[in-house]
Amino acid sequence: MHTTQYLAKILKELIRTTDRISDEEAEKLVNGILEAKKVFVAGAGRSGFMAKSFAMRMMHMGIDAYVPGETVTPNFEEGDMIIFASGSGETKSLVSMAEKAKSLGGTVAALTIFPDSTIGKLADMTVKLPGSPKDQSEGDYKTIQPMGSLFEQTLLLFCDAVILRFMEKKGLDTNKMYGRHANLE
């Protein structure tokens, strides 16, 4: 099979994920972010990269968004929200962070394949995203892609859709957002 044929198969898989994501869960996440004082995002590996891109876009929207562990990240306080991007919902370092956030009075959200996971159970809100875990032993969504690729791609596109919903709710357009883009480069 040619590379472009694989690409077409990946895109078909991604299109099928759309109907499996709850609009109600997504809207609850959007509203939770808009109500939070500060928003933190966390994930490990490729899911972490997707989470960081989400934090960047939220910053472009004027939301105080941060990634734990970065040198300019402020403290987490009551009224803040942390969003975990974790396919399994069991990554030990993220579980520990979720427990700490709860103890500080923050809101915890999980973007995960498994809402009944440890992080999912700790979360105040979850959005179930289709995909297969890295070992592909569980999950209700089959994919031709290796490891957690489908979840990670769905995560990125879902977060971009959340940004579009923010833009609609806040009356923003790309030109207003571009004014917050890095300009020292």
Say if strands 125-128 and 81-85 run parallel, antiparallel, or are unpaired.
Answer: unpaired
**Contact criterion met (CB below 8 Å) for 33 and 139:** no
pLDDT in the model for residue 139: 56
Share of the chain above pLDDT 70, in %: 88
pLDDT computed for residue 16 by the predictor: 87
Number of other CB atoms surrounding residue 136 within 10 Å: 16
Give per-residue pLDDT as tens, 167-180. 898 887 777 666 66
Q: Using alpha carbons, list the distances in angstroms from residue 9 to 6, 16, 86.
A: 5, 11, 24
Burial-class residue 98 by CB neighbours within 10 Å (0-12, 13-18, 19+).
buried
Closest listed residue to residue 132, CA positions, set 147, 117, 110, 115: 147
* Marked catalytic residue, from 13, 152, 168, 185: 152
pLDDT digits (tens, 9 = 90+) for 2-55: 899 988 988 988 888 888 999 999 999 999 999 999 999 999 999 999 999 999
Q: Tell me what the mean pLDDT of segment 123-128 comes to.
A: 97
**CA of 55: how far to CAs of 103, 155, 179, in Å?**
23, 13, 16
* 77 in catalytic set: no
pLDDT digits (tens, 9 = 90+) for 80-116: 999 999 999 999 999 999 999 999 999 999 999 999 9
**Looking at residues 144-159, what average pLDDT do you find?**
85
